[in-house]
Structure 1
């Protein structure tokens, strides 16, 4: 998978223009708030997802624009050249998309047509913050790799919300207690399926990320990540996960009623990330934590490539800071066979780039 051209009009602060990247490493350099991340964000939108910065669609439109923003992408995928277009309208107008000249039902219809993996400074929360961000990372990776998982996750979320509502209602209507078992049955089936998918994926992700981290650290440090679930702490085969989760829900019913929400299940699970067998969150340096997240994101890209049969585009935003020279060299010169976009502020950090293209952004203008 490769971007051949990115066109943009009235998108954030970017002046109307187009970017013609090279097939390997593309470095986008400039001071803060000049538009570097906007370019990566524009590419990412063609995956069919929302902004990786959490921005609302209306925030993506230039202040001066009345009509809205337009993005165009020429890319290679499935061994052929393709085109896509995204329009983002003002007011109540929803984001619209075309693929190869054909209007799509929704912008999300682009999911699976163009694939990318993104790292941004916000992703450091994978290590630094609580379990919700790590679950979100794991689920997003699985959804892009396996669309059926997205449907499973949606079903689980709806069922969980309904059970939580029931837990609150029981305090006012005790007769509803006897209906709780129905939701326990449904939730345990969906939850067990989610845990199985996550566990299988993470086993492969851990192996791939370990190899990448070994390259980033030049073999100086050992990296590991494992799935942490109350369901798995006592061992047991996958075939029995549903019954074990049902038992956890049953045994935790009093706690759930007191809390007013479901306290057991995959929505409470976590990933344990370690360097040198110590928690990266508690003991890792800034550079180690950044390296951990990079290893996870690059491993995500590798597994996605395996599933797709072609390599997704890699987007690395502000990745060079807090990395020593050897780790920077790995990102610039050792990721072979992938199209990579890297943003940075300091031109000195890319002085070791052996091959690739460099672009400079100033006040929304691009040159290079």
Structure 2
């Protein structure tokens, strides 16, 4: 799929702007705080998700220069090609409430857009995938799986609820040791059954996406380094759901006493991690800024490839502030070697823009967007 036209009225610092991007690489450049990211954010909202910058919907309308307060509403429009035809969507935000229109049919909520527009986003915050602890990496797996398999979201939610119930029971038993033990065994069984499904899905997804991540990183790094990712469950062994469930039950029984003392469950998919290594060493501990950025980029672009295989259409790829701390060879790869998908890249440096060989450029200055010819 690809964007044909994007328009914004009173969105962030965009008073009334529209762009007609190409189907390949679109570079959006300009100084900081001019509105580059606002274009990507506006397009991302058509996935039905929240702002990737963590903003509330009430913060998205343009600030009135006279009052210094956000206007009451904003309107966005997207013409796009998907499912072998041209389609259109509109999104309005009034007083923090969303409404949408899809191919002329009005919808009461913005969630009606979910599944209509598929996109993958990279923003500087995603660098925490490598830099921070395992929670971010688990979220990467879970977010991708929820897009691919709606049923996974239900299992994950049920697992988290069962985990909360078991943890509450552990705390209760710590405070009242005379509490009967049979209740804990019931929650052990439920947690093991649901957790085994989560682990198996994560393992299967990682096995599918890992070669793609390595291949993309190889292209970005021009073969100078090798990136490897692997799923690291806290419950070791097992490949089928049944095998993992049995091993999980054994671990829950083995750790029950220490879990009661601590008041939380020490094993399970909520404790798992995704190892990211460059040339055999931890990217988190030893990777340079450029290597870490390249690793996250490879993970996001691999996610796009998985979505393409699943849906039969390539998602829109949105890369925000991606070029900083990358050498010229890595920048060249992103600008000129991402084939078969529509890409939007924001950057500040005019020197970086000059590396682009094909596609389109848009210069953003003070909320105004100026398309440029090569």
Q: Is the structural similarity TM-score above 0.5?
A: yes
Superposed counterparts of 1:253-264, under 5 Å? 253-264=256-267
Distance in 1 between residues matched to 2:205 and 2:358, nearest whole Å:
33
Per-residue CA shift, 1:86-134, capped at 9, x if unaligned? Answer: 22232xx533333223344642332222101111111111111110011
Q: Contact 2:162/2:187 (CA < 8 Å) preserved in 1? A: yes
Q: Who is 1:55 aligned against?
A: 55
Structure 2 residue aligned with 1:46: 46
Question: How far is 1:83 from its partner?
Answer: 1.6
Among 174, 195, 201, the alignment partner of 1:197 is 201
- TM-score (normalised: structure 2): 0.93
Residue 68 of structure 1 is aligned with which of 54, 73, 77? 73
Aligned-residue Cα RMSD (Å) equals: 1.7
1:147 equivalent in alignment to 2:142: no
Alpha carbons of structure 1 residues 159 and 344: separation in structure 2 relative to 1, 3 Å: same
- State the distance in 2 between where 1:288 and 1:4 align: 33
Alpha-carbon distance between aligned partners in 2 of 1:185 and 1:362, rounded to the nearest angstrom = 59
Asked if the contact 1:111/1:144 (under 8 Å) is kept, the reply is no
Q: Which residue among 226, 229, 233 is the counterpart of 2:230?
A: 226
**Separation (CA, whole Å) in 2 of partners of 1:106 and 1:135:** 29
Deviations 1:140-174 (A, max 9, x none): 11111222212222222222222222323334454
Query: In the aligned structure 1, how far is the partner of 2:159 from the partner of 2:245?
Result: 13
Map of 1:10 onto structure 2: 10
In structure 2, the CA distance between the partners of 1:158 and 1:110, relative to structure 1 (3 Å rule), is farther
SS of the aligned residue for 2:199 comes to: helix
What displacement does 1:181 show? 1.8
Of 246, 261, 279, the residue aligned with 2:282 is 279
**Alignment partners' CA distance in 1, 2:111 and 2:272:** 27
Residues 311-326 of structure 1 correspond to what in structure 2 (within 5 A)?
311-326=314-329
Measure, in 2, the Cα distance between the counterparts of 1:154 and 1:179.
Answer: 21
Shift of 1:200: 0.6
Provide the rounded CA distance (Å) in 1 between the counterparts of 2:324 and 2:79.
Answer: 31
Q: What is the number of equivalent residue pairs in this alignment?
A: 365
Distance 1:261 1:66, change over 3 A: same
Superposed, which structure 2 residues align to 1:1-368 within 5 Å? 1-64=1-64, 65-90=70-95, 93-104=96-107, 106-173=109-176, 174-175=178-179, 177-232=181-236, 234=237, 237-368=240-371
Shift of 1:61: 2.2
TM-score relative to the length of structure 1: 0.94
Summarize the Cα distance change of 1:194–1:327 in structure 2 as closer, same or farther, 3 Å threshold. same
Runs of 4+ in 1 over 6 A off after TM superposition: none
